[in-house]
Amino acid sequence: MKINSIFQAIEGEGMGIGTPKVFIRTQGCMMNCVTCDTPEAQNPNKGKEMSVKQIINEVSKYKQKYITITGGDPMEQNYSELLELIKEIKRVNQNCHITLEVTGSDERDTMVDKIFNKVDFLSFDIKSPSSKSLTPFHKSSIGWSFKSQYKIVINDWKDYEFAKEMIKKYVMCKIILTPCWKVGKGLNKKFISELFDRVLKDNLRCKVIIQQHKIVYGHKKNV
């Protein structure tokens, strides 16, 4: 598997915010979103090739029960290796909790189902218009709403209108609006306060969660 980094940190976003975790960040993502806050993990030709055993050895150095496999997009790795990694983590670290963060662009098939079934929680990224991603969110991913969250990065008001439609369309889902953290520019507090106001005015069924690790560290890797 191509790995960008393995590190421990406090979860900075989404429903698990504040949770101490080990993160396995895979390398490679075909989305190439312009709003990506970890662009260093996009290029599939970079990163370090690691075996499942090597990854497990590195993860085992940390005494954490919560583990997140993120990217890049982990689903761009070899499916068999990814499934093996998840199974091995569960075998070595009993009673651990594994979150898998994916783009949701994969149509469900047998291997995707096997992978998703083995993890405890799924985090899907629904790409908003400002991401300029050419690969759409696949509607089959909604089938996992019982154990998942759906994050939408909000960079402008066009993204907000897009999010409103998604909230209406997928009312059963736990949808999280994430104000965009722009590399080199940080958080726009004025925009975020206006976002709060609009969510309240429109009575949206969602959560707005700021990336707290970006507030604390800025654009620092592995935090």
Q: What is the mean pLDDT of each run of 10 residues along the chain (223 residues)?
A: 97 96 96 89 96 97 96 95 97 95 85 95 95 83 93 96 95 93 75 96 96 83 84
- Whether the CB-CB separation of 133 and 36 falls below 8 Å is answered with no
- Whether the CB-CB separation of 58 and 3 falls below 8 Å is answered with no
Spacing of C-alpha 64 from chain mean position: 19
End-to-end alpha carbon distance in the chain? 22
| 180's tokens | 């965009």
Q: Which domains does the chain have, with CATH numbers?
A: 2-217 (3.20.20.70)
Amino acid letter, residue 158 = K
pLDDT tens for 44-102 read 999 999 999 999 999 999 999 999 999 999 999 999 999 999 999 999 998 999 999 99
Report how far apart, in Å, the C-alpha atoms of 161 and of each of 8, 168, 207 are: 35, 11, 15
The CA distance from 11 to 22, in Å, is 9
Dihedral-angle region of residue 47 (phi above 0 means left; psi in -120 to 50 means alpha; beta otherwise): left
Amino acid letter, residue 104 = G
- Token pair 């992978």 in the structure block, residue: 115
The CA distance from 70 to 64, in Å, is 16
Query: Can you give the pLDDT at residue 205?
Result: 96
Query: Can you give the pLDDT at residue 76?
Result: 94
Q: In residues, how long is the chain? A: 223
Query: Can you give the pLDDT at residue 108?
Result: 75
